[in-house]
Amino acid sequence: MKYLLMLTGLMVMPSFAAGDLAADDMTGVSFWLVTAALLAATVFFFVERDNVSSKWKTSLTVSGLVTGIAFWHYMYMRGVWVDTQTSPIVYRYIDWLLTVPLLIVEFYLILRAVTNVASSLFTKLFVGSLVMLIFGYLGEAGNMNAMVAFVIAMLAWLYMIQVLYSGEGAAAAKQASPAVQTAYKTMMLIIVVGWAVYPLGYVLGHLVGDTNPASLNIVYNFADFVNKILFGLIIWHAAVTESQGT
């Protein structure tokens, strides 16, 4: 069976960490937990494609790709953290550079199920996310003043929120099925509340007192759990509910 093959492939991968995880290293523990959860979520989303109607299958595929790509990067990030106790900035941002556009594809799929959306909306969100991530990286890597980079990245994020909330999406959502409405409401909450955890991590890590990689990474790891796994599960739940109802 194809899934079994995939699972085996994922499990034989090495751990990418030379040292051992210390019991009092809470940030390291959070890397470990999220890595395992991402693996489980990936297998789950791909297997569950069989349980939803065809219009939801792409959404589950995208969710599985997001958690799968993140799982792959967490293997390395976890290793960097355990071995050096420093932020795996490069792996983190390569991961986001791939998974954030995929989440925007997911947003787009949900919006399209609710209302007529112009493809320019996708472009706007995509460009906004690029600006947000590029300046986040420059600020974290020390290539730019951390505060200036933060303000520019925040503006890009607020721009994305504005793009999603303007438009007739909210009004049209009322005509959609309850399951689609749930998916839509979740998406609107995720980009505002779920994504807000990331700038919080940046503030704790870079803008108050000394640079604090332990706080930064534990908050980012938590945020990834919410925005990649939990978000995917809520979409999955809406998909299964609607698929069974029809």
Min dist CB 61 to ligand RET, Å, is 16
Q: Which is nearer to ligand RET, 82 or 153 (CB)?
A: 153
Distance CA 97, CA 140 (A): 15
We find the least distance from the C-beta atom of residue 237 to ligand RET, in angstroms, to be 19
Give the side-chain half-sphere CA count within 13 A for 8.
5
- What is the rounded end-to-end Cα distance, in angstroms, of the chain? 28
Residue 88 CA to its chain's centroid (Å): 17
In the complex with ligand RET, the residue whose CB is nearer, 48 or 106, is: 106
In this structure, what token pair is assigned to residue 137? 């990286």
Give the chain's radius of gyration (CA, Å).
18
Query: Shortest Cβ distance from residue 100 to ligand RET (Å)?
Result: 5
Interface with ligand RET (CB under 6 A): 96, 99-100, 103, 132-133, 136, 150, 153-154, 157, 195, 198-199, 202, 224, 227-228
In this complex, which beta carbon is closest to ligand RET, that of residue 22 or of residue 193? 193
DSSP 18-72: SSPPPTT-HHHHHHHHHHHHHHHHHHHHHHHGGGS-HHHHHHHHHHHHHHHHHHH
Closer Cβ to ligand RET, 47 or 134, answer by number = 134
- What is the C-alpha to C-alpha distance for residues 153 and 150, in angstroms, rounded to an integer? 5
The alpha carbon dihedral of 245, 164, 158, 68 has a sign of positive
* CB of 91 or CB of 242, closer to ligand RET: 91
Q: Judged by CB, which is closer to ligand RET: 28, or 136?
A: 136
Cα-based distances in Å from 19 to 12, 121, 218:
19, 46, 19
Min dist. Cβ of residue 182 to ligand RET (A): 20
Rounded to a whole number of angstroms, the minimum distance from the CB of residue 167 to ligand RET is 20
Shortest distance (Å) from residue 8 CB to ligand RET:
26
Nearer to ligand RET, 170 or 200 (CB): 200
Choose among 150, 106, 136, 145: nearest CA to 238. Answer: 106
Question: Considering only CA atoms, which of 177, 147, 189 is closest in space to residue 55?
Answer: 177
CB 236 to ligand RET: min, Å? 17
Give the residue at shortest CB distance from ligand RET: 136
